[in-house]
Chain A
Amino acid sequence: MWTTAFVRVLRRPALVLAVWLMTLLPALLASLPVLLWLKGLLDHRPAAAELARGEADPLLGEILQDQPAAVPLLLGSLLGAALPGWLLSAAASGGLLDALRRPGHPRRVVGRAVVVRMADTAPAMLRLWGAGLALRLPVVALLGGAGLALRKLLPGRGLSAAVVAVAATAVVGALLWSLLSVVLHYARLHRLGAPDRPGATWRALRGALRCTRQHLGPTLGLAAVSVLGLAVLVGVGRAVALHLDARPSIALAAVLGLGWRQLVALGRTGFHLALLAAVVEVADSQHPEQVSEIQATSMTNF
């Protein structure tokens, strides 16, 4: 299933590039004020070189303490990147799922048609995303509760207990989050095949839960592999980035660091698309009756 998914994604490099650009562009725009601010602060300061090399971390403290605008600016930049990024990604998800259907599937789209499909399905996908957020709230609350409980329980139990508890919470949290993502992808697939009627979002979610129950094993597998893959990508990305950032030539470090981070971002995008393709595979092929149902509704839609 994963092999099929990866092959299908590798055959569509333009799709990977497009999705990578879709997160890069908002992030780039949202980070520009930070770049301008940093330039004004550092371009004429000899100490900036030490700061960039990680040899003068107290200066970061000085900047955060002395620049009241720093925290709002950074938070604004984060939100400015995240909100458009997430909305775009949610809006595009319908087109992406259809683009990653197995060859011959009646809903499969290629080339420009992907963009058209994205635009067509965007309102429905955004509604689903909103519903998905509501679904995630209990998870966030649960994790918050676990965090509070850990704060109460952990003191006095030693470091290894604390590390195990925190790591376990993080893993469970990531798995839950990822599982909900997969369920949401099922819901998208259901919604894509269904007519635009009031209540379509909730029907799609109910269908997704049904689908999850029917494919519980593969679904859990998808969530687990997704967590593992992203963890590896983030870990390796961070380790190499730290190594590159410590280069003596700061200008070179900036160029190499940018290149490497975009490579990792491409990797994450490819992995994300492979996950979508795998979800499509699970939903389309493993259970013929499910497929026929989807295809039947798809047909009525065409």
Chain B
Amino acid sequence: MTIVPVALAALVGGAPLRLPGPLSPRNASYRITARLDERAHKVSGQLLLSWRNLERHPVRELVFHLYLNAFKNRASTFIREVGPQLRGDKMPEGGYGAIDVTALRVGRHDLLAQARLDDTLLTVPLPEPVGPSAAVQVEMDFVATLPKVFARSGYAGPFHAVAQWFPKIGVWDCRPSCRWRAHPYHGQTEFFADYGVYEVELDVPADMIVGATGVLEAERSEGGRRHLRFRAEDVHDFAWMADPRFVEVWDELHDAWGVVSLRLLTRPGSLGMNERHLQAVRQGLLELQRRFGPYPYSQLTIVVPPPDGSGAGGMEYPTLFATISGEAPRWLAFHDEVTLHELGHQYFYGILGTDEVEEAWLDEGLNQAFTTWAVERLRGPRCNIIRLPGLCLSQLDLEWLAARQAQRRMPIATPGFLFPPDSYGALTYSQTALVLRTLERHLGPARMEAGLRRYAERHRFGHPRGDDFMAAVNEGAGEDLRWFWDQALLSSRTADYAVLSATSTPHEPAYGLWDCPPRPPTAEDPAVRALIEESQRQACAGKPPGRHLMLPSRPARPDGPHDSQVWLQRRGELIFPVAVRLSFADGSTIVERWSLQEQQREPERRVRRFSYTGRPALRSVVVDPDQTLLLDERRLNNGLLLQPDPAPARRLWVSWLGLLQTVVDLLRA
């Protein structure tokens, strides 16, 4: 069987990398041949895994993920945890899937009988241990029965999303003590694997158009079948999607490191979005590279799954991702946002190979923060998701609204599968994004970018953890931010600063009963002494000796001197330095600070008073006026007006009244 290299330059990606490799340890490399039976929706394959032990401790058994067994029956860990649904997407009736290993050899040893299968994990005892830096080769035959599209994988008619479809080895990790970092397929969390080289040969029906991880190296047709050979380097997974109805669109991104070929596989009914998806990818890639370093691969494939295969959409794989189908008007940017988010995963999980199971916030959360930046780059800072007359919402607004609704709080840095399902998304995605955007406003964009760049550069093609992230950002930003990380990531504290009360009364110390001539005041506080002396002067000027009653002769003027008092309250547990802006009747403002140190010194004193004597009447007080603390859960209580302003309520009421009249008029008969 000879493989003829494809002549069409656009189709053959050439080398999978556009930067000199290897970029990663490449200790888990796969050679797979697989055949898709499109009628039975089965993929039968043979794989040869070359695995090297990167740790200084020997390995006595290997652990493999058999992810598709999550959909084998209702007793799987996945379905027991979240039910036969994922984020509202129901598992189709009768759409079960599974993966069966039919042969297993390590060297000369047939180990199929010894292997232990538990849910989605297959443990293979080794005939002899694999020592440090030693390698082992594992051969397996397997049959993957695809479910009806659900939770990322499966088929919908002729569309096949072949993901998490082959036995994939876990990560042998000795930090701090040795264990296989291989969790069962949880309902709420995703994946974790070592980097390697994937050489995958697919045998599909001749009319299938296939998008896959890596680049297409060679292609030939034979007996109504197509044989496609893909190659990917320095990646930790391989997925492919096949559909005869795909419409193929090519584009390119030229940047400082050369060219990235963009391959969009879309479909009728979504074609109107082609340019928007590609524009999002181009702008998103530029933003990713500006912030986190070069995209090292020569190709990126974007798949638009069919509407009945939406369970495969909004999902990321190395150099391949699935966005969502359909079209949207320009004022609505959900499609653009999904594309940017899945694109961002090329870094946050792809190039920065974090453990999506144990620390989901490191991929989803950081990626969601990136998504907000990218949406801003693409569509401006305001109204960048919904821009309608009468409704304006940005991605950051949506994150805030989602995060404040998380009822059951846990630290963000909690293993993903331990979150209650109603709070996982709000905390892992939205709250993490708000944490990082708050920090950005606190540090300033330049220091924030420096911190994140340090993280991205240091841990490229590694398996960084939360501690690595925090340490790198501390260094890059030039500040020990432990006070912030401890609260925002490692605790379940929430933030809510409020203006509790404010008063402002005319400054009238000279009124009342005064004995003239006055005696020098004895108060210890020099300010109080000065105040009394000044009042005595006013009260006794030109008066005969004796007791005199002093009364105001005219009503106090707002711009005359006033005594004002403001009480701030920290209603949440999270301590953050906040500014307070006070506006006075003469138009002047003062900005005060309730500092971190002061709040930390006496954390239980949750209120702070600011007092002023002699300034004009106080008009309004706003805590955190620049909205630095995006984590603040209640914004309405951040300010107080001393005189009520009835106009806003009236304005909104006018709209409501108009709406009521319109409804009554239109539906009367």
> What are 18 A-B residue pairs whose CB atoms fall within 8 Å in the complex?
A31-B660, A34-B656, A39-B646, A39-B649, A43-B645, A48-B648, A85-B664, A85-B668, A90-B668, A158-B268, A158-B271, A158-B272, A184-B669, A242-B390, A250-B647, A257-B655, A257-B658, A261-B654
Partner of A156, one of B269, B648, B661: B269
Partner of B392, one of A26, A54, A253: A54
Contact-size category for A: 35 or more
Does A168 lie at the interface of the complex (its beta carbon under 8 Å from any beta carbon of B)? no
- Known contacts A184-B669, A245-B651, A261-B661; is-contact A45 B639 (Cβ 8 Å): yes
- Known contacts A58-B400, A156-B325, A257-B654; is-contact A27 B669 (Cβ 8 Å): no
- Known contacts A27-B657, A250-B651, A257-B655; is-contact A58 B401 (Cβ 8 Å): yes
Does A44 lie at the interface of the complex (its beta carbon under 8 Å from any beta carbon of B)? yes
- Known contacts A43-B646, A52-B647, A269-B665; is-contact A30 B389 (Cβ 8 Å): no
Partner of A257, one of B271, B328, B404, B651: B651
Residues of B within 8 A of A199 (CB): none
B647 touches A86 (CB 8 A): no
A44 touches B641 (CB 8 A): yes
Residues of A within 8 A of B390 (CB): 54, 242, 245
Task: Kindly provide the distance from the CB of B243 to the nearest chain A CB, expressed in whole angstroms.
Answer: 12
**Beta-carbon nearest neighbor of A46 in chain B:** B639
Partner of A272, one of B636, B637, B660, B665: B665
Does A61 lie at the interface of the complex (its beta carbon under 8 Å from any beta carbon of B)? yes
Residues of B within 8 A of A86 (CB): 664, 667-669
**In the complex, what distance in Å separates the CA atom of A129 from the CA atom of B639?**
50
A52 touches B648 (CB 8 A): yes
Instruction: Select the residue from A24, A52, A59, A264 with max chain B CB neighbours within 10 A.
Output: A52
Task: Kindly provide the distance from the CB of A71 to the nearest chain B CB, expressed in whole angstroms.
Answer: 13
B648 touches A51 (CB 8 A): yes
**Beta-carbon nearest neighbor of A129 in chain B:** B669
- Known contacts A57-B392, A132-B669, A272-B665; is-contact A45 B636 (Cβ 8 Å): yes
Does A149 lie at the interface of the complex (its beta carbon under 8 Å from any beta carbon of B)? no
Does A155 lie at the interface of the complex (its beta carbon under 8 Å from any beta carbon of B)? yes
Residues of B within 8 A of A156 (CB): 267-270, 306-308, 325-326
A57 touches B393 (CB 8 A): yes
Task: Kindly provide the distance from the CB of B644 to the nearest chain A CB, expressed in whole angstroms.
Answer: 4
Give the residues from 251 to 285 in chain A that come closer than 8 angstroms, CB to CB, to chain B: 251, 253-254, 257-258, 261, 264-265, 268-269, 272
Does B566 lie at the interface of the complex (its beta carbon under 8 Å from any beta carbon of A)? no
- Known contacts A78-B660, A156-B270, A156-B326; is-contact A38 B653 (Cβ 8 Å): yes
A57 touches B664 (CB 8 A): no
**In the complex, what distance in Å separates the CA atom of A68 from the CA atom of B665?**
29
Specify the main secondary structure of chain A where it touches its partner. Answer: helix
Does A35 lie at the interface of the complex (its beta carbon under 8 Å from any beta carbon of B)? yes
Task: Kindly provide the distance from the CB of A278 to the nearest chain B CB, expressed in whole angstroms.
Answer: 15
Partner of B636, one of A35, A39, A47, A55: A47
Q: 7 tightest CB-CB pairs across the interface, nearest first?
A: A155-B307, A159-B327, A46-B639, A85-B664, A48-B648, A52-B648, A156-B269
B661 touches A23 (CB 8 A): yes
Task: Kindly provide the distance from the CB of A250 to the nearest chain B CB, expressed in whole angstroms.
Answer: 4
Residues of A within 8 A of B664 (CB): 23, 26-27, 81-82, 85-86, 89
Does A66 lie at the interface of the complex (its beta carbon under 8 Å from any beta carbon of B)? yes
Residues of B within 8 A of A161 (CB): 269
Residues of A within 8 A of B401 (CB): 58, 61-62, 65
Instruction: Select the residue from B328, B640, B652, B663 with max chain A CB neighbours within 10 A.
Output: B652
Contact with A along B608-632 (1 / 0, CB 8 A): 0000000000001010000000000
B645 touches A181 (CB 8 A): no
Task: Kindly provide the distance from the CB of B630 to the nearest chain A CB, expressed in whole angstroms.
Answer: 11
Does B114 lie at the interface of the complex (its beta carbon under 8 Å from any beta carbon of A)? no
- Known contacts A82-B663, A184-B669; is-contact A48 B650 (Cβ 8 Å): no
**In the complex, what distance in Å separates the CA atom of A42 from the CA atom of B267?**
49
Contact with A along B316-328 (1 / 0, CB 8 A): 0000000001111
Residues of B within 8 A of A27 (CB): 657, 660-661, 664
Does A14 lie at the interface of the complex (its beta carbon under 8 Å from any beta carbon of B)? no
Partner of A63, one of B271, B308, B636, B651: B636
B638 touches A47 (CB 8 A): yes
Does B405 lie at the interface of the complex (its beta carbon under 8 Å from any beta carbon of A)? yes
Does B662 lie at the interface of the complex (its beta carbon under 8 Å from any beta carbon of A)? yes
A42 touches B272 (CB 8 A): no
Known contacts A159-B327, A257-B654; 11 further A-B pairs (Cβ under 8 A)? A23-B668, A38-B652, A48-B636, A49-B645, A57-B397, A58-B635, A155-B325, A159-B328, A253-B651, A258-B654, A261-B657
**In the complex, what distance in Å separates the CA atom of A159 from the CA atom of B658?**
31
A41 touches B636 (CB 8 A): yes
Residues of B within 8 A of A61 (CB): 397, 401
Task: Kindly provide the distance from the CB of A225 to the nearest chain B CB, expressed in whole angstroms.
Answer: 15
**In the complex, what distance in Å separates the CA atom of A264 from the CA atom of B654?**
13
Does B666 lie at the interface of the complex (its beta carbon under 8 Å from any beta carbon of A)? yes
Does B94 lie at the interface of the complex (its beta carbon under 8 Å from any beta carbon of A)? no
Residues of A within 8 A of B60 (CB): none
A155 touches B397 (CB 8 A): no
Task: Kindly provide the distance from the CB of A20 to the nearest chain B CB, expressed in whole angstroms.
Answer: 9
Residues of B within 8 A of A55 (CB): 392
Contact with B along A1-38 (1 / 0, CB 8 A): 00000000000000000000001101110110011001
Residues of B within 8 A of A113 (CB): none
B644 touches A155 (CB 8 A): no
Instruction: Select the residue from B326, B620, B660, B663 with max chain A CB neighbours within 10 A.
Output: B660
Does B329 lie at the interface of the complex (its beta carbon under 8 Å from any beta carbon of A)? yes
Does A157 lie at the interface of the complex (its beta carbon under 8 Å from any beta carbon of B)? yes
Does B9 lie at the interface of the complex (its beta carbon under 8 Å from any beta carbon of A)? no
A31 touches B657 (CB 8 A): yes
Task: Kindly provide the distance from the CB of A48 to the nearest chain B CB, expressed in whole angstroms.
Answer: 4
Does B634 lie at the interface of the complex (its beta carbon under 8 Å from any beta carbon of A)? yes
Does A160 lie at the interface of the complex (its beta carbon under 8 Å from any beta carbon of B)? yes
Partner of A51, one of B308, B328, B652, B658: B652
Partner of B648, one of A23, A42, A261, A269: A42
**Beta-carbon nearest neighbor of B642 in chain A:** A44
**In the complex, what distance in Å separates the CA atom of A265 from the CA atom of B666?**
11
- Known contacts A234-B666, A254-B654; is-contact A57 B646 (Cβ 8 Å): no
A272 touches B668 (CB 8 A): yes
Does B391 lie at the interface of the complex (its beta carbon under 8 Å from any beta carbon of A)? yes
B660 touches A35 (CB 8 A): no
Task: Kindly provide the distance from the CB of B245 to the nearest chain A CB, expressed in whole angstroms.
Answer: 10
Does A162 lie at the interface of the complex (its beta carbon under 8 Å from any beta carbon of B)? yes
Residues of A within 8 A of B306 (CB): 156
